[in-house]
Structures are given as C-alpha cells and as structure tokens.
Amino acid sequence: MKADRIEARPKSVELVLLSDGTFAVKPGIDFERFKRNIADIVDRIKAGTGLPDHYYRKSAGRDFLLDDYGWMHLHVGHDVDDDVLLIVEQTQDAVILVALTDHTIFRERPRARSIRRLNSKVEAIKSRRRVLRKEGR
C-alpha cells in the first residue's frame, strides 16, 4: 500500500525488532528524545484519528522510500530535531514501524542502504499477518 499518509482508521502497530530484540535506531540518535512523539503516533494510529500535518514530509517531488519500498518517513522530531525520521510501512490493517533514522538515508548509495536489510523483517511481519488473517485470528 503506497499511500503518502496514514489512513485515519484504526490499525494495529507492529515493530521491526533486531536480533537482539531492540528497535533499529541510527547511532547518534537518542531514542528517548523522540519517545513521546513516537507514542503519540502509535496512539493516533491505533485510535484511527489520523496524524497531524507536522509528521509528514514537506517537500515536493519524488519520495524514493515510498516509491521503492512502500516506506513512509514521518518527521518524528518535528519539535525536537526535524532531521529525525520514523520509517514506517502501512498495510491494510497495520502500520509497521521500521526504524528511527535521519535524512542522510536519502544520500546513501544505494538509497537507504543502512536500513534496506530491514525489508526482510518487514516482509516477515506482513507474511505472518496474512497467515493470521487467513486463519481468522
């Protein structure tokens, strides 16, 4: 689902976890500084109330992450550090939180190289969710 906004209807939230059980955070980013905004995003997604505009991209032009991977980048640091982004993927019934990073991923070659490996974990979550839906859970 390649929408550029989170749908304003209740969805579950899933986290991509690394092998050590932690969420992917780019070195140098203090997760604690953005925890309140991430919690706000999660609460709004679960409630289906929609996200305020300050979480969304402000530039025009091609969104390479969305086009290439179906990943949205939310400006989770809008009131702390606007360079910090929460990478998410939206499906019909869930939003998957992929990583906390910054705008440097757009300059990496290949683009988003530092987080691309997480795509296999995203696909595993989507596959598990499809199986559960098929089983009626």
Q: What is the pLDDT of residues 48-97, one digit of tens each?
A: 999 999 999 777 667 788 888 889 999 998 888 889 999 999 999 999 99
Q: What is the pLDDT of residue 133?
A: 80
Name the architecture of domain 12-134: 2-Layer Sandwich (3.30)
SS3 content of the chain, % helix, strand, coil (to 5): 35, 20, 45
Q: Across residues 116-132, what is the average pLDDT?
A: 92
Separation between Cα atoms, residue 20 and residue 3, nearest integer Å: 31
H-run or E-run covering 74:
strand 71-74
Radius of gyration over alpha carbons of the chain, in Å?
Answer: 14
What average pLDDT does the structure give for the chain?
91
Confidence (pLDDT) at 1: 58
* C-alpha triplet 69, 22, 36: angle, nearest 5°: 85
Q: Is the Cα dihedral 42, 43, 46, 47 positive or negative?
A: negative
pLDDT at 110: 87
